[in-house]
A and B are shown apart, each in its own frame.
Chain A
Amino acid sequence: MSPEQIGMLGMGGMLLLLALRVPVAFAMAIVGFLGYAAVSGWTAGFKVIGMVPYTAIATYGFSVVPLFLIMGSFLSRAGMVSDLFRMARLWIGNIPGGLVHATIIAGALFGAASGSGLASTTVLSTVCIPEMRKRGVDKILACGTVASVGPIAQMIPPSILMVIYCIITGTSLGKLLIAGILPGLLLALGFMFLTYLRVKKNPGLAPLLVEKVNWAERFSSLKNAWGVVLVAVMVLGGIYTGVFTPIEAGAVGACGAFLLAITARGRSWVGLAQSLLDAAKVTGGIFLIIAGAFIFGYFLTITRIPTLVSEFITGMPIQPLGILISVMIMYLIIGTFVDMVAALFITLPVIFPAMMKLGFDPIWFGVLIVMQCEIALISPPFGLSLFIVKGVVKDVTLNEVIKGIFPFFIVDLIILALYIAFPQIALFLPQQMMGK
């Protein structure tokens, strides 16, 4: 058999194993090992499987993942989300749909300290949904808002997903993180505009707050939110100005978050230990897949499959934009059924080289991919964000959450189309950075 044929067989075999519920890391490692051995012999196969699990992980840049994870986790333990929500409520709670807007703002601001959409959905569910419902916001609207706003955290830097994209594709992490700022803000604005229209049409969804707030209270609420702002400014500002690399920003941010968490009211050592344990678990889970993906990648490279696929895709008699839109539709379908982190490891090694050959910008494509993951998290019936909200809110059904996200889902699709039509939304800030 030629290496190409073994490669095709390996791809097919891996997809079969995945369909049969074999964990992604196990499937990639075993197919990568057997395939490599089939092409280059057992000695070479054993050598790869002895070396790669170490070399794939012992990489300085990867430490950014646990650092980003604990940064967000420490800050939420410090009660940051309630502080942010309270601040947003005092400032704009009195406008129509005020509490929904406050939730979106708190979610976007917390996104600047948290790198995980799911973690963000979890805290927003526990903090914002009870407050909204207590003040008469429609249950379906409250749940739909939180399920859709939480995932914005992975577009607004820091972002674990962006780190994963950069690990797979070799794109510059600093630039991609900065590129996420404007698209993330655009998402938040889009959600607020939607809420404004909906509440205007149907004021019963979110009754006006009759809360007397004076300016002293408003300004004093800013005091409690300074921690997140400080960490976010340090991390994003540091990366943007080139003072910090993303890893240094992660370490300094985590250190700052730790100091805030141990000085916060209601500090809990058990809670902090739990944060660290969770970060270790998530890191272990993601990086075992990375080790498997590296083994599989070695195999794929010697079979020349990525080159063949990219030659096939670029050789199609379709406009590059047409190909890009087909790829986007493919990811929308994949994201409906499959965990996107797993999907990225499987698809990007073959899709990304083709996109680059067609002349698309790696950072812009990265923003599009993160947006796809955003949509996948709320895509019924398997979107994880839906299940988190349903898990936290006891008296809501999955169908109600799905009903709640539907308008936001449409906004997500419109914004994805805007990113495709106007690459500058993603590329403006990183290009400013390149000028430095």
Chain B
Amino acid sequence: MQTLIFFEKQLRKIERAFCYAAAGLVFVMIFPTTVDVFLRYVFNAPLPEMFQLTEFMMVGVVYFAIAYVQQLKDHIRIEAATQWLPPRIQEILDIFGYGVGFIIFAIISWQTGRIAWEAWETADYTMGIVQFPLWPAKSILPIGTGLLTLRLLVDIILNFNRITEDQSNRKDPGTGEE
């Protein structure tokens, strides 16, 4: 348990660092389009293929942020049907929800990883006047979704521990109502 708590603490820092990287990309994203607009109207010389860079950055913003969003439990979900349930049942349902996420994002990080590897092996490039390699943007997916998968696994274990601890506290005479 001690190791898990230590590990979770480090994971928190990594997720936060990734989200700061996403925040940095949001800032940088302002400029390719602004510069393009400026050059087009002032010098009548648009930068070719600037939109490609924005697309790559968009992938970075989204997938670098998602693990931190899960750390904060900010992924949108519908609570109207379950919020009248006792907290313990809600925590069990949360384990189920994170489990669903764990399964699908494990598959997504595996499959997107395969595709990123293909892009590297075949030296896949974007089409157009300026050609960008595709593997860096495609590698963001297995990294970001992999981190989310790991976070979901940790959340499942933490929730599970909390529930079993509650259980043993309850059996403890003098604390529980039972």
Contacts and interface: CB of A to CB of B under 8 A. Distances in A.
B55 A60 contact: yes
A49 B108 contact: yes
A30 B56 contact: no
B76 A284 contact: no
B100 interface: yes
A66 interface: yes
Contacts of B24: 276
A193 to B, nearest CB: 33
Contacts of A298: none
Interface string A47-91: 001110110011110110011011000000000000000000000
B154 interface: no
B80 interface: yes
Interface stretch (B3-11, B65-73, B159-167): B65-73
Interface in A23-40: 23-27, 29-30, 33
A9 interface: no
Contacts of B37: 244, 248, 251-252
A54 B75 contact: no
Nearest 8 CB-CB pairs, A to B? A284-B65, A50-B111, A251-B33, A280-B22, A276-B23, A26-B101, A23-B75, A337-B80
B143 interface: no
B51 interface: yes
B101 A23 contact: yes
Nearest to B36: A248
Contact of B108 (A53, A58, A338): A53
Interface in B126-164: 137-138, 141, 145
Interface in B57-103: 57-59, 61-66, 68-69, 72, 74-82, 90, 93-94, 96-97, 100-101, 103
A231 to B, nearest CB: 13
Contacts of B77: 18, 21-24, 342
Contacts of A46: 107, 111
A92 interface: no
A338 B65 CA distance: 24
Interface stretch (A134-142, A205-213, A285-293, A358-366): A285-293
Interface string A348-387: 0000000000000000000000000000000000100000
13 contacts: A22-B100, A24-B77, A25-B76, A29-B108, A30-B103, A50-B108, A58-B55, A247-B33, A277-B23, A283-B22, A284-B66, A285-B65, A338-B80
B104 interface: yes
A283 B58 CA distance: 9
Given A66-B29, A67-B30, A280-B23, A57 B78 contact: no
Which label, helix, strand, loop or mixed, suits the secondary structure of the B interface? helix
Contacts of A67: 29-30, 33
B64 A280 contact: yes
A17 interface: yes
Contact of B78 (A19, A60, A62, A273): A19
Given A51-B115, A53-B141, A280-B23, A23 B107 contact: no
B170 interface: no
B20 interface: yes
Interface of B: 19-20, 22-27, 29-34, 36-37, 51, 54-59, 61-66, 68-69, 72, 74-82, 90, 93-94, 96-97, 100-101, 103-105, 107-108, 111-112, 114-115, 137-138, 141, 145
Contacts, number: 195
Given A18-B78, A19-B81, A26-B105, 5 more contacts: A19-B78, A26-B75, A33-B104, A53-B141, A284-B62
A100 interface: no
A50 B116 CA distance: 9
A63 B29 contact: yes
Contact of A50 (B62, B66, B75, B112): B112
A46 B106 CA distance: 12
Which label, helix, strand, loop or mixed, suits the secondary structure of the A interface? helix
A181 interface: no
Contacts of B111: 46, 49-50
Nearest to A19: B81
A20 interface: yes
Contacts of B108: 29, 49-50, 53
A229 interface: no
B178 to A, nearest CB: 26
A280 B104 contact: no
Nearest to A34: B104
B73 to A, nearest CB: 9
Contacts of B115: 50-51, 54
A194 interface: no
Contacts of A248: 33, 36-37
A59 B55 CA distance: 5
Contacts of B22: 280, 283-284
A293 to B, nearest CB: 12
A23 B97 contact: yes
A399 B93 CA distance: 29
Nearest to B55: A58
A341 interface: yes
Contact of B79 (A21, A50, A62, A247): A21
